[in-house]
């Protein structure tokens, strides 16, 4: 842009401020969003590679801001983690997923496992597993249909305490998975210590597996390693049939991705995915 005259400093700073405000999300906005029920859970099916059956759903949060429109979780979750409001969001997510599950049951659908994402900040709270337990009781949810996804990096901070919490969740009957596997700093050796059921291979490896030999080799190694540890593997970010064939050849158990479905609203899950009892 052209800057001229004595106003140029003012002009420049005004524009910057506008840009800044447009992108700025405040902690107060997030709190207001919780209060005003601006959040919604979308669900993405997880599929058995061999049978093509839907074996579970991953709940992913969506925020429709009244003025800004949809705000990506990749944008507001890190901010919520920083301010601490993630605790309230996380609690809302777990309760909402459990309530949704119970609503579907009452409507006559078969139960289905729902995975929720839990951030490091939540997991590290000493009352986390008790909170989960009270939500399960309150919603009358069978813990065997709840799964908690924890990123590799979040277990690596405060590992010992996280393992205690994870053991506690497992004892309740909840399943656990390590999310974004391969992007973090843990070594394969750590996997043994984690009381987990599933390993989710990060989509960056999955999506480049056909183009890059190295990614294909990593995917293959991760699947073998997980199987050696008795874990089942979910590949994320499967966008086409060719990747699915590769995963099939490598004995991957489950997959998620746009090839089967994007994350969709609860009502669409009910219409397209759930089976009536």
Q: Which two tokens stand for residue 29?
A: 């906005």
Q: Which one, 182 or 263, has the nearer CB to ligand C2E?
A: 263
Quick check: 70 binds ligand C2E (CB under 6 A)? Answer: no
- At its nearest, how many Å lie between ligand C2E and the CB of residue 117? 4
Q: Which of Ca ion, ligand C2E, none does 56 bind, CB closer than 5 to 8 A by kind?
A: none
Over the window 166 to 195, marking each residue x when it contacts Ca ion by CB under 5 A and - when it does not, the resulting string is -------------xx---------------
- At its nearest, how many Å lie between ligand C2E and the CB of residue 74? 5
CA angle 77, 101, 81 (to 5 degrees): 15
For ligand C2E, the binding residues in 36-55 under the rule CB under 6 A are 44
Instruction: Count Cβ neighbours within 10 Å for each residue of 241-270 and write b for 16 or more, e otherwise.
Output: eebbebbeebebbbbbbebbbebbebeebb
For ligand C2E, the binding residues in 125-184 under the rule CB under 6 A are 179-180
Are 19 and 237 spatial neighbours (Cβ–Cβ below 8 Å)? no
- At its nearest, how many Å lie between ligand C2E and the CB of residue 102? 18
CA angle 154, 197, 239 (to 5 degrees): 80
Q: DSSP E strands: which ranges in 79-145?
A: 113-118
Q: Rounded distance, CA 227 to CA 234, Å?
A: 12
Quick check: 73 binds ligand C2E (CB under 6 A)? Answer: yes
- At its nearest, how many Å lie between Ca ion and the CB of residue 149? 4
For ligand C2E, the binding residues in 192-211 under the rule CB under 6 A are 203
Quick check: 27 binds ligand C2E (CB under 6 A)? Answer: no
Q: DSSP E strands: which ranges in 141-211?
A: 146-151, 175-181, 198-201
Q: Which two tokens stand for residue 204?
A: 């960056």
Q: Rounded distance, CA 253 to CA 251, Å?
A: 6
Q: Which one, 147 or 179, has the nearer CB to Ca ion?
A: 179
**From 145, 233, 237, 243, residue interacting with ligand C2E (rule: CB under 6 A):** 237
Q: Which one, 236 or 250, has the nearer CB to ligand C2E?
A: 236
Q: Which stretch binds ligand C2E (CB under 6 A): 13-21, 29-37, 113-121, 154-162?
A: 113-121
Name 39's Cβ contacts closer than 8 Å, sequence gap at least 6: 33, 61, 62, 63, 89, 92, 96
Quick check: 186 binds ligand C2E (CB under 6 A)? Answer: no
Q: Which one, 11 or 215, has the nearer CB to ligand C2E?
A: 215
């Amino acid at each position: 842009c052209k800057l001229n005259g004595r106003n140029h400093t003012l002009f420049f700073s005004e524009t910057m401020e506008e840009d800044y405000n447009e992108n700025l999300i405040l902690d107060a906005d997030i709190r207001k969003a919780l209060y005003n029920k601006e959040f919604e859970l979308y669900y993405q099916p997880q599929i058995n590679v061999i049978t093509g059956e839907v074996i579970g759903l991953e709940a992913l949060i969506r925020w429709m801001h009244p003025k800004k429109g949809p705000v990506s979780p990749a944008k507001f979750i890190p901010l919520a983690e920083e301010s601490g409001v993630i605790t309230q969001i996380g609690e809302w997510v777990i309760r909402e997923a459990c309530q949704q599950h119970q609503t579907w049951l009452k409507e006559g659908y078969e139960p289905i496992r729902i995975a929720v994402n839990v951030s490091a900040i939540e997991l590290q709270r000493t009352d986390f597993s008790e909170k989960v337990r009270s939500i399960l009781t309150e919603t009358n949810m069978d813990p065997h249909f709840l799964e908690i996804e924890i990123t590799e990096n979040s277990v690596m901070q405060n590992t010992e305490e996280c393992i205690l919490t994870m053991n506690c969740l497992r004892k309740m009957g909840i399943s656990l998975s390590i999310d974004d596997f391969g992007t973090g700093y843990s070594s394969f050796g750590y996997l043994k210590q984690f009381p987990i059921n599933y390993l989710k291979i990060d989509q960056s490896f999955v999506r480049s597996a056909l183009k890059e030999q190295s990614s294909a080799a990593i995917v293959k190694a991760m699947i073998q390693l997980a199987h050696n540890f008795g874990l089942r593997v979910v590949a994320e970010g499967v966008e086409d049939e060719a990747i699915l064939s590769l995963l099939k050849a490598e004995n991957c158990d489950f997959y998620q991705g746009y090839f089967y479905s994007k994350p969709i609203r609860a009502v669409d899950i009910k219409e397209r995915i759930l089976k009536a009892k």
